[in-house]
Structure 1
Amino acid sequence: MISRRHLLAAMASTPIVSMLGTGTAHALPDGDYKALVCVFLFGGNDGFNMLVPSDNAHYDEYATARPAIAIPQASLLPLSLSTGSSLALGLHPSMSEIQSLFNSGKIIPIANSGVLIEPSTKEGLKEGTHAMPPFLFSHNSQQTEWQRGWSGSTTTLGWAGRLMDVLSSDSDEISPTFSLNGYAQLLNGSVQSANLINASSLPKVNAVSNAQRRKSFDQVMSLSPLTAFGREFDRVKGDSISIRDQLAAAIESVPEEEHFPDISLSQQLHTVARLIKSSDQLGHQKQVYFVGFGGFDTHANQLEDHAQLMSALSQSLAAFNQSMEAAGLGDKVTTMTMSDFGRRLASNGTGTDHGWASNHLVMGGALNGGQLYGQWPSLILDGDNDFNKGRMIPTTSVEQIGATIAKWMGVTSKSSMDYIFPNLANFTVQDLGFLKS
């Protein structure tokens, strides 16, 4: 007999599957709703022009490394942030909304983070005693590595999908994972796939978009196919219509909010906000969302283009945070940025080429705010943290960030954490401490 899972695998490229969950539920007995929202900055965000040292000594190091594209020291937005040293940090001048969230403890930075297999030094990588992640500096590969959360493997699963494998059961028909930006490996679990939703319109099947087509569709559905595959295919089609109707009802039950700006990322987050607020209708108590925003491959004209990107990111995250706090959900939702990689410290003229480590943001009401997490690197070209040509070696891994969030989401056992992040055992610090337990 053909299983639903096998049919879904066979149909993975067809539009109808994009609206299906795989029958996973999250009606946890303690009623503790939590959601993770992953914001992927496609192209490779320059995290060292987003978060910039502002004290004289560290700023001089930064400006010496990238004189053509350094943000003027006087224009940096000051942050009330403990770094544990003389280091002071400022924010890109286009991010005033995020500055306010930083200074109220609602956003924290994670310094110099990226894809690693194990803690690595320049010497160890050069001598081959530390394992090098595969296909560094390649857009597609590094987007996959960030979402896979298991560098060095070839699994098609993603770390958030494995997270939901651990936190889920099999009694609901709608998956608790949602992508507002197309296919995302991050959300692939062993028993589920994500609901793919267009932020500007609800998922729909053209065959049932009006009454006459729906009548014809129902007549076709009433026929009994001769094969097991045909019968299962019809069942999946029927499920897709049911899921579409439930998602439409859930989203439409929550009024639109006018404060979300007309920015693609903001509109995705607006739909995320409406789904989160209707999670009880879907029977979910743990959810993961994926949204994406492109344009970060700034090989040229970086100062102007990156300023616009930073402004859009700042406005979008602030609007989403406002929505969650107004609904009393600020401490129930954690939002994190992800990106292919950072940029090289050295410029190529007016832009930057592909790097490795970057700085990332985590937002939410459950944060232990007011401090820097991770290790700020030396920004000296060809120094101890520079792998080559200004490509910074990460000092905090994707796994360490993800494991900290997974613990907050409800993962308690070592075996479960090992399933989600098989490389985590390579790192001494497995909980970075930026979320309240």
Structure 2
Amino acid sequence: MSQPINRRAFLGQASCAAVGSTSILSTLLNLRMASSAAAQSMPAAPNTDDYRALVCLFFAGGQDSYNMLMPCGTEHAAYVTTRGGLHDDAANPGGLALSQSEILSLGNSGMLLGLHPSMTGLRDLYTQGKLAMVANVGTLNERITKTQYNSSGAKLPRGLYSHSDQQQQWHTSVSTETRGIGWAGLAADLLHSTSNDQRISMNTSLSGNNVWQSGNTLFPYSVSSSGAVALSDYNNSNASNLGDTNRTSTRTAAVNSLLGQQYQNLLESTFSSNMRDSIDTGLFFSASVNSIVLTTLFPGDTGYTGTPAGYTLANDPARSLAAQLKMVVRSVAARAALGLRRQTFFVSYGGWDHHDEVIDAQARMLDVVSRCLTCFYAALEEVGSQNQVTLFTASDFGRTLTSNGNGSDHAWGGNHFVLGGAVNGGLVYGAYPDLTLTGPSIVTSRGVTLPALSVDEYFADMALWLGVPPGSLSSVLPRIGNFYTPSGTRPVGFMKP
């Protein structure tokens, strides 16, 4: 019978006492191929003509999206009243409304709507038919009315105004329970083995581990904006230089000693095998994406000319998000080398919990989003993949329409957008609510909007486009049957076939 082994004995047997196990385990989680059910044999590289990728841009913190998409026609007066009047730093610092002249009109039929003045690049993509707005989306267990909400007879999402609960529900689409399995992870469970080479998970994260991409057999493959995240102080090309006393060579020799051992203990053997796979996979991924050179300039790149006044290339607030989105494009362009026909990408842009200073902070952050996504779409066009990649936004929740004095608080329904050549763009989907506090979609005196579209319907359009069969949609979005029955018509309609 195998005897229990303590940590000290394990490290001693592994000939790696100089290598801390905590950092190795952390990196192993970051680099793992993320497919415990992957086939051992490598199939032929798939036909990349059928390639499709979905990118989730998550606005962590709960974006005040009723100042991202707002009325600019006759309904503007109600918007101004509910939001506490026009914002003025001196005369009305607590007012959250923007003036009609500032708003970038979308020229849509029905209620005339427009975008925040910082979003000129995205407004242009909208008018070109490459971007669609989706109004008043949120977590729902079932369709409910304002009367049902007020009578306490409705089945509401658990932890309705909680950051952690609502983030988890946006990742999973399930608002009745806590789950660690996301809908992109479940989609990957269905699609990965039949669509992709098995060396790299179809789910790639630029923002670390996340629930959205976690499935039953697949997990997100975490990379940085520079490529695969490698073991610190490990140099694969310097592995034979054992006589050097510098830190990298010492650590490299120690890790290679660990990997070179033959282990009888199953835990040790699995640990060693997974680490070797992780290192090899990281080298393979980095080599593939590093072969891609983009000429499209992103914020922070030498020669980029869109940096706002008061900033330089080095401190442009858009640098971080731009670098993540640039890596997404490079990964897309490397899909043939990676052997992928289906991918998802997760990018998180945090800092949207604006209980204070919402006007100034949102103007700065929406400018970052607009500039980065304008470059992102141009780079997709450069590599010829604009029709094969769809980006959508998500967030914890919308925010209250009324001011708390200098910001807004946690609420429910919010507005989002979808970007890509496969999008039926130039339209606003869903039902934008009447923003008067007595309106049929406003369920509290603080101006909380009752969602008109469930996250299930929003996600279903994209899951079907990605390739999830209609008959399997409920295995990816477990509550979709409460809102939609798969048919020839998609629930919202913003995706092309």
Asked if TM exceeds 0.5, the reply is yes
**Secondary structure class of the residue paired with 2:224:** coil
Following superposition, the deviation at residue 235 of structure 1 comes to: 0.4
For residues 230-258 of structure 1, the C-alpha deviation after alignment (integer angstroms, 9 at most, x for no partner) is: 10111001111011101110110111445
Partner in structure 2 of residue 15 of structure 1? 27
The structure with the greater share of residues assigned to helix is 1
- The 1:113–1:34 alpha-carbon spacing in structure 2 relative to 1, beyond 3 Å, is same
Task: Check whether the contact 2:192–2:201 (CA below 8 A) recurs between aligned residues.
Answer: no
Going from structure 1 to structure 2, the CA distance change for 1:12 and 1:137 (only over 3 Å counts) comes to farther
Contact 2:158 2:177 in 1 (8 A): no
Q: 1:235 aligns with which of 260, 263, 273?
A: 273
Change (3 A) 1:63 1:13: farther
Supply the distance in 2 between the matched residues of 1:155 and 1:29 (Cα, whole angstroms): 34
Counterpart of 2:494 (choices 424, 434, 437) is: 434
Q: Which residue number corresponds to residue 208 of structure 2?
A: 182
User: Aligned pair in 2 of structure 1 residues 65, 338: CA closer, same or farther (>3 Å)?
Assistant: same
Aligned residue type for 1:226: Q
1:385 CA drift (Å): 0.9
Structure 2 residue aligned with 1:355: 411
TM-score by length of 1: 0.92
Q: Distance in 2 between matches of 1:179 and 1:186?
A: 10
Partner of 2:380: 324
TM-aligned CA deviation for residue 12 of structure 1: 12
AA at the equivalent of 1:301:
E
Q: 1:298 to 1:12 in 2, by over 3 A?
A: farther
- The residue identity in structure 1 corresponding to 2:457 is Q
CA shift, 1:121, in A, is: 1.4
Q: Distance in 2 between matches of 1:30 and 1:94?
A: 36
- Counting only pairs closer than 5 Å after superposition, residues 14-413 of structure 1 correspond to structure 2 as 14-23=26-35, 24=38, 31-56=49-74, 58-66=75-83, 67=85, 68-82=95-109, 85=110, 87-169=111-193, 172-200=198-226, 202-209=228-235, 211=238, 212=241, 213=249, 214-257=252-295, 259-262=297-300, 263=318, 264-388=320-444, 389-413=446-470
**How far 1:149 sits from its partner (Å)?**
1.2
Amino acid at match of 1:239: D
- 1:428 deviates by 3.8
- Corresponding residue of 2:13: none
Change (3 A) 1:384 1:270: same
CA distance in 1 between counterparts of 2:208 and 2:257 reads 31
- Offset of residue 79 of structure 1: 1.2
Which whole-Å CA distance do the structure 1 matches of 2:158 and 2:25 have between them? 27
Q: Please state how far the C-alpha of 1:219 moved relative to its aligned partner.
A: 3.0
What SS does the aligned partner of 2:160 have? coil
Measure, in 2, the Cα distance between the counterparts of 1:41 and 1:50. Answer: 12
Contact 1:382 1:390 (8 Å CA) reproduced: no
SS in 2 for 1:336: strand
Moved more, 220-229 or 14-23: 14-23
Q: CA offset at residue 370 of structure 1? A: 2.1
Q: Which amino acid aligns with 1:419?
A: S
In 2, are the aligned partners of 1:111 and 1:376 still within 8 Å (CA)? yes
Native 8 Å contact 1:80 1:370 kept in 2: no
C-alpha spacing 1:234/1:335, structure 2 compared with 1 (3 Å):
same
The 3-state SS of whatever aligns with 2:134 is strand
1:73-114 alpha-carbon deviations (Å, 9 max, x no partner): 1111121334xx2x1111101111011001001110000001
**Secondary structure, counterpart of 2:56 in structure 1:** strand
SS at match of 2:78: helix
Q: 1: distance between equivalents of 2:352 and 2:474?
A: 32
Asked if the contact 1:160–1:189 (Cα under 8 Å) also holds between the matched residues in 2, the reply is yes
Q: Give yes or no for contact 1:81–1:103 (8 Å, CA) kept in 2.
A: no
How far has the Cα of 1:265 moved from its partner?
Answer: 1.2
Whether the 8 Å CA contact 1:183–1:196 is kept in 2: the answer is yes
Amino acid in the other structure paired with 1:187:
Q
Which amino acid counterpart does residue 26 of structure 2 have in structure 1? T
Q: Which residue of 2 aligns with 1:4?
A: none
SS in 2 for 1:343: coil
Over alpha carbons, which structure has the higher Rg?
A: 2
Identity level (%): 33
In 1, Cα distance between equivalents of 2:467 and 2:32: 25
Q: Give, in whole Å, the separation in 2 of the partners of 1:247 and 1:49.
A: 40
- Normalising by structure 2, report the TM-score: 0.81
CA distance in 2, matches of 1:13, 1:341: 34
Q: What corresponds to 1:6 in structure 2?
A: none
The AA in structure 1 aligned to 2:54 is: L
Q: Which amino acid aligns with 2:375?
A: A
Tell me if structure 2 keeps the 8 A contact 1:148–1:155.
Answer: yes
The Cα RMSD (Å) is: 2.0
CA distance in 2, matches of 1:146, 1:13: 29
Q: Structure 1: which 5+ runs fail to align? A: 1-10
1 CA distance for matches of 2:397 and 2:224?
Answer: 26
Summarize the Cα distance change of 1:358–1:313 in structure 2 as closer, same or farther, 3 Å threshold: same
Secondary structure in structure 1 of the residue aligned to 2:401? strand
Deviation at 1:22, TM superposition (A): 2.8
How many pairs align?
Answer: 422
